[in-house]
Structure formats: structure tokens, C-alpha cells
Amino acid sequence: MQKLRGALIGYGFIMEKGHAAGYRQRAAGGGGGDVEIVAISDISAERRAEAQAAWPNARIYEHHRALLDGEAGRIDFVDVATPPSEHAAIAIEALGRGLHVLCEKPLAASIEEARSMLRQATKAERVLYPCHNYKHAPVIKTVRGLIQSGRIGKVHLVTLQTFRNTHAKGVTGWRADWRRERRYSGGGIAMDHGSHTFYLAFEWLGSYPTAISARAATLGPFDTEDDFSCSLRFPTGTASAHLSWNAGVRKVLYTLHGERGAIRVEDDDVELAVQEKGGENSGAGAAGGGTTWTFERQAISSDWMDSSHVTWFNSLFDDFKAAIARREFVGREAEEAFLCVQLIATAYASSREGSRELPLPGLAALEGDDVSDRSALDGARPSPTPSGRTRPGTPGRPESGAGGGGDPPRVPGSRKDGARV
């Protein structure tokens, strides 16, 4: 594949420290002849100055539309890391101009926006690819290998906990607390971390969920939740999650339970427990049927404390490039990004209805679905949008900042040749 020419839209913390730094590492690491960053846009004058200083050869714009106009015919893709409220408008316009799109999570702030993005990618025959970077953490790759080895058997129960002592702060040049403003973020910690939680659950349970019940709460004076918990039903098992910005420590804790053992992840530490029948030292006594467990522990350096996750970026970018080479315009990653948005919206609806369990239509909702759209229209963003929000497509948009159940049939048109992946 020839060198890809890219543009960065939104030069906030995650773009500067996570994506842009990843492109620099790529260039310095010997494989960097495959991408060149030629343009950057941000509405903040301070952030534009930072971008110009860091990328002196790049052309700098104050608005994404000016960038798309000015770079017409000169770029192959855009990397979008604005607040979620603007993802859809920017991505749809870029796809319509014939550009591939790498987009920060969540893919969009509503089901309808996410669905429109996938449809536009199919229509334009350009790749839409989400930044589901947790899949590329070394410790998660290790877990993947352990599952594939079959040592714990088929996974049927997963727990996922993400603890933070505060919300991630944006850059000082533009609304550092935008994650606590629903008009920009679309939601709180469920919107910010839910995608990571859900796509890992999809992979580990090997299917897509059929129903969700959830609870969201806010302790501070904000219009976005800072504590979120949910329970998911899958055809293959169950998953529960707890996400909080009110924790006393920054940490991820995951457990995966199979027929013959379990895996526990605590940041970089992985513990594998494998059942052995008939051992002499049964901790469960007679009730355990003589079962014992052997434990194996290892530490897999994954830089969890670095919130930019820059060391994971180039593995993700390799997959984006591969999707472009395959002409996989709307592949499994994009579909799962849509499902994550659907889950977040439906979780908010469940929370509003007293944590009532609600059904999930899954990928069938890409063709339109009453349940899925009801969640969005009834307020996937629980409180009204404040008056004065800049409408998509106009100057002043926020371009700074971080950025059916089971396994249903895939959507026709995902690839130009109609093949399924």
C-alpha cells in the first residue's frame, strides 16, 4: 500500500498525546514510511499554535470544514478526536468527500447518528474505523491467547470494573471539563468508558447481548453521570460492569469465568486459575467435589496509568490500514462500535425506568428498529440539550478534546463485493 496522507481533526489531549504521538513513534520506529500527517484543525487558537509548533510542516486550519475544503484531493483519511457530539457530522462529511475515517470512541452520541455514519461509509465506499484501543493493550492480547488456548473452557461469565478518581480532563485551551457537559460529551462515564467495557465483553463471551438493565448516578453538580453499573444478558452467558469516576484509585479489574477455570486481570497483572479434579487439597471441601485450582500469575506491562494509551495506537492503526487494503468499509469493528452506542443509549433508558431490563435489537437496528430508536428519541442523553449549543456544520463546533441478540447477520454492503467478514 502507498503512503497514506492524513489529517487530524481536534487537537486535544488524546489526539496530541495518544494519536499524534503514535504517528511520531511510527515514523521513528522504522515502519513510518506508510503514513504522513499533512494537516490539522482545531477551533482553539491555543491548540492550533501547539499543533503548528509540533508539526511545522502541517497545514493548520481553524475548522474541520476549512480543512476538508483546503485539503481536497490531497489527503486519504481523517483522524477524528473531537468530543462525541461532533463525531457524526464530521465523519459523515469526510466520508462523503471520499476520505476514510478513523474515529475516537464512542462512535457517536446517539443511535441514529451512529447508524447514519455506517450507512454513509457503505454508500461512499470508504472505511469507517473506531478507536477501540483496549483491544490492543498487551495484557488484553494475553487474555485473548489464554481464551484461545481453551484452558478455562468456554467463557460464560464476565465482570468488568473501571475505576477512576475523576473524569479525564481536557486541555486548558478549550473547556477542560467538557466530559461533564452533556451537550458536548453526550453522557458521562458510560459514554466515555462504556465502549471499552462492551466490546471486550462481546469478544470474551463470543456473542452480542440481548438485554440490559442499568443504573446511572451523579454525585457532583453536573448533568452527566459519574457512576454507572449494568447487567447484560448474552446468548452465551452474562456480564456485569461497574464504571466510576468517584473511586479512590485508578484501576481496571476484569474477571472471566469458564467451564474449567478463570482469568483475573488487575491492570498489568494476569492470574490464570485452572481446575484440577480429585486433588488432595480441595479448598471447597466435599461440596466442591474434590476440585482444586492451580494458579499462574504474570505481569504484562501495558502502561495503564498513561491515559493517552499511546503505546497501543500503532497496533490499532495497523488494523485501520488493513481494513483500507481489504476495502472493508463497514467491518466488524464499526458494527460493534454501533452496538456500543446502542447499549449506552439503552442503558440510559433502563436507568430512567428504574433499572428495568430492556431488549437489545443488535445489528438489526441498522435497518431501523422501534426499540433502539425509542431509547434514542426518549432521551439517550437524559437531560435536554442546553440552549445555545452550536449546531453541527457551523463554525464554533468543539474540535478540541479527547475523544438482535446473539451474533446476528451482518449488514449487506459492508464491502464493495458484498462479502461477509
Task: Catalogue all structural domains in the chain, each as residue range(s) with its CATH number.
Answer: 4-133+310-330 (3.40.50.720), 135-304+338-377 (3.30.360.10)
Pick from 356, 36, 12, 339: nearest CA to 171: 12
pLDDT digits (tens, 9 = 90+) for 174-225: 898 989 999 999 999 999 999 999 999 999 999 999 999 999 999 978 999 9
Fill in the amino acid letter for 198: F
pLDDT digits (tens, 9 = 90+) for 56-108: 999 999 999 999 999 999 999 999 999 999 999 999 999 999 999 999 999 99
Q: Which helix (H) or strand (E) holds 117?
A: helix 111-124
268 touches 140 (CB < 8 A)? no
Q: What is the mean pLDDT of residues 276-290?
A: 57
Pick from 319, 332, 316, 322: nearest CA to 403: 316
Q: How confident is the model at residue 373 (pLDDT cuts 50, 70, 90)?
A: low
The pTM (predicted TM-score) of the whole model is 0.87
Q: How confident is the model at residue 289 (pLDDT cuts 50, 70, 90)?
A: low
pLDDT at 42: 97
The Cα-based distances of 115 to 328, 340, 341, 372, 385 in angstroms read 17, 12, 10, 11, 21
State how far the Cα of 162 lies from the Cα of 105, in Å rounded to an integer: 16
- Rounded to the nearest integer, the mean pLDDT of the chain is 87
